[in-house]
């Protein structure tokens, strides 16, 4: 695999955990240019789905189409992939997988504010309690690249972004110049 000039960071978590807010804050704070791809929005914009499910108020995603759309961007790196699932990406893509976590009561309130239907709120809340996204990440990627972060307060957001900026700086230092991979 060719060397990338910038890392690929996956920010994942149950809907409502703050993925998009974190991704945008990281783009703004990053020492290098990063491109934030909100995969859920990409699915809608590029019609990377089979249909819309009215009951669950969600698109039935065609994961192959999603991967085909993102693949050409992976070579150079410098991506933040923001989506509620992560195990669809090939293991070789991410340099870091950030799983955002939130107290289930707070998560319920966030999803209610989004006007999610009750069945969707219940399913997502159960997913958060059962650590579904975290377990998927741990099963799909090397242990050393999966990081679990709390996402409940503004202080959490600021601390997480600061930690991720430090991680990017270290990645750049470790991947600069010659030497072996």
Question: Mean of the pLDDT values across residues 104-110?
Answer: 96
- Residue 35 to residue 13: CA distance in whole angstroms: 19
Residue 66 domain boundaries = 8-163
Strand 49-53 relative to strand 58-61, pairing: antiparallel
Residue 92 in domain:
yes
Number of domains making up the chain: 1
| Domain assignment present for 177 | no
pLDDT at 167 over 70: yes
Burial of 99 (0-12, 13-18, 19+ CB in 10 A): buried
In angstroms, the CA 125 to CA 141 distance is 24
Give pairs for 88-95: CB < 8 Å, separation 24+.
Answer: 88/63, 89/10, 89/140, 91/140, 91/141, 91/142, 92/1, 93/8, 93/10, 94/8, 94/9, 94/10, 94/141, 94/145, 95/4, 95/7, 95/8, 95/9, 95/145, 95/171
Residue with tokens 């996204």: 133
pLDDT band at 2 (very low <50, low <70, confident <90, very high): low
In a domain, 168, yes or no: no
The domain spanning residue 125 has which CATH number?
3.40.50.300
Is a pLDDT exceeding 60 seen at residue 179? no
CA max distance for the chain: 54
Q: Is 20 assigned to a binding site?
A: yes
pLDDT tens column, 41-72: 999 999 999 999 888 888 999 999 999 999 99
The pTM assigned to this predicted structure is 0.93
- Residue 39 placed within a domain: yes
Is 18 annotated in some ligand binding site? yes
Known binding residue 19? Answer is: yes
Report the DSSP beta bridge partners of residue 147: 98
Is 81 inside any structural domain? yes
The annotation status of 17 as a binding-site residue, yes or no, is no
114 is in an annotated binding site: yes
Does residue 179 belong to any structural domain of this protein?
Answer: no
Here the tokens at position 95 are 């340099």
């Amino acid at each position: 695999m060719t060397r990338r000039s910038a890392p690929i960071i996956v920010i994942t978590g149950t809907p409502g955990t703050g993925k998009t807010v974190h991704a945008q804050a990281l783009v703004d704070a990053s020492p290098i240019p990063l491109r934030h791809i909100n995969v859920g929005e990409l699915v809608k914009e590029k019609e990377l789905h089979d249909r819309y499910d009215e009951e669950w108020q969600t698109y039935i995603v065609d994961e192959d189409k999603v991967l085909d759309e993102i693949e050409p961007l992976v070579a150079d790196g410098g991506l933040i992939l923001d989506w509620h699932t992560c195990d669809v990406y090939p293991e070789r893509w991410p340099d870091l997988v950030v799983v955002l976590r939130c107290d289930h009561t707070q998560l319920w309130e966030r999803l209610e504010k989004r006007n999610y239907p009750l069945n969707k709120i219940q399913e997502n809340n159960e997913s958060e309690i059962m650590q579904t996204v975290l377990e998927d990440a741990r099963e799909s990627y090397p242990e050393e690249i999966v990081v679990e972060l709390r996402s409940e307060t503004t202080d959490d957001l600021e601390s997480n972004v600061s930690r991720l900026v430090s991680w990017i700086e270290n990645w750049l230092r470790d991947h600069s110049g010659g030497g072996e991979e």
